[in-house]
Amino acid sequence: MTTTVSAPPRLHRGILLAVALTALNLRTAVTGFSVLTGEAGADLRFGPVVTGAIGTIVTACFAVAAFAAPPLARRLGLERAAAIAVTATTAGILLRAVAWSPSFLIVATVIAFAGVGASNVILIPIVKQHFGERLHTISTMYMVLLQVGQLAAPLLALPLAHAYGWRVAAGGWAAVTAVAAVLWFVTVPFSRGSAAPAPAPAAPLSWRTPLVLGLIGLMAMTTLHVYTLVTWFPAMLEDAGLSSTASALLLSWFAGLGLIAAFVVPPLTKRLRSPYPIVVVCAALMAMGYAGMLTAPAAGAFVWATAFGLGVSTFPLCLTLIGARAADPQSASRLSGLVQGVGYGIGCAGPLALGAIHQATGGWNATYGLLAATLLITLGAGWAACRPVRLQRAH
């Protein structure tokens, strides 16, 4: 049974705006920087190894933060934890913009994405806590804004970099995250009595269940594909003969197609007894994309980018299932932390490992083949995750 906290309308509006601005910036620092690595690398003198490491650091930070965020939220309260997380994101983005060496850039990336990773986990129980009666509507808004930011970042980054340099392009999003951080801090004094989690920790999750293991596997494979493509898709396209501008536009198209999933997947998941057909369609689209990149990467680049952009719709499916299968905000927080922590932890191997395979083989074909093979895991995990059962607790 979902418990919805009654709070003043003004508090709800402030929290809703904070959720919106936070969601908008959950991926801008990823896709907005992917198209800047060439200029940043030339300035700071780093190459593909550091680029791959940054992609791996992003998902590794998501994994660690996913485990750290639930106890932090229990100790400090959801809103205060969100305020700290978004402040860390703002600081990391600003520090990355002024980095003077690859090592400092990596440290700044860790700070930024520790905050983003914590926000990934904390926003789900916040939405369930304050907007339980409109869970699917607010979840859709949250995922739409995430995709808008992911789409807009590469489109804006290149013009800004050409006009003002890569540092301005990389640091500009801190202005929006700073506003979100202020909003979270403003809501804290007014929400302590109504929105803070219960001081006693919730009963542990029974993670050795098909539902939880399926969600973990689905999140892991989705993460593997998303962040490998976000990190390397522009390089794949440029190696196929496309210009850097065309590659950036196709990365933005890939990211922007998530808007369709954000509108369609949450309500469709609510209507379907088992949303497993979504997983099957997504896996088929991803397989088509990798087959296309093997056979005609340049000629069909737009088609393959479209297939990839729609194929990673298992991401909003995972987030929707986490919220729907949990009984209350505390169990949603624990389930979100477990699924995203392990899922991102497994998926973080993708950008660095597959970049290393590319460097060793001198091409991308082995990478496409390996990624296509992992779709079998996606299908198996998706079947378990989509079964119409409720989350159970360990006793």
Q: Is the pLDDT confidence value at 173 over 60?
A: yes
Q: Is the pLDDT confidence value at 194 over 50?
A: no
Which residues have C-beta within 8 Å of that of residue 307, sequence separation ≥ 6?
Answer: 285, 286, 288, 289, 292
Q: What is the pLDDT of residues 89-108, one digit of tens each?
A: 999 999 988 888 888 988 99
Look up residue 202 and give its DSSP letter: P
Output the pLDDT for position 305. Answer: 95
Q: What is the pLDDT of residues 287-317, one digit of tens each?
A: 999 999 999 999 999 999 999 999 999 988 9
8 A C-beta contact, residue 212 and residue 206: yes
Domain ranges of the chain: 9-385
Of 276, 271, 310, the C-alpha closest to 385 is 276
The fold of the 9-385 domain, in CATH, is: Growth Hormone; Chain: A; (1.20.1250)
The reported pTM is 0.72
Q: What is the pLDDT of residues 316-338, one digit of tens each?
A: 898 888 877 766 666 776 787 78
Choose the weakest-confidence range: 10-14, 21-25, 262-266.
10-14
Q: Which residues of 58-76 are buried (b: 16+ CB within 10 A; e: fewer)?
A: bbbbbbbbbbbbbebbbeb
Residue 120 half-sphere exposure toward CB, CA atoms < 13 A = 32
8 A C-beta contact, residue 229 and residue 252: no
Q: What is the average pLDDT value for the chain, to the nearest integer?
A: 82
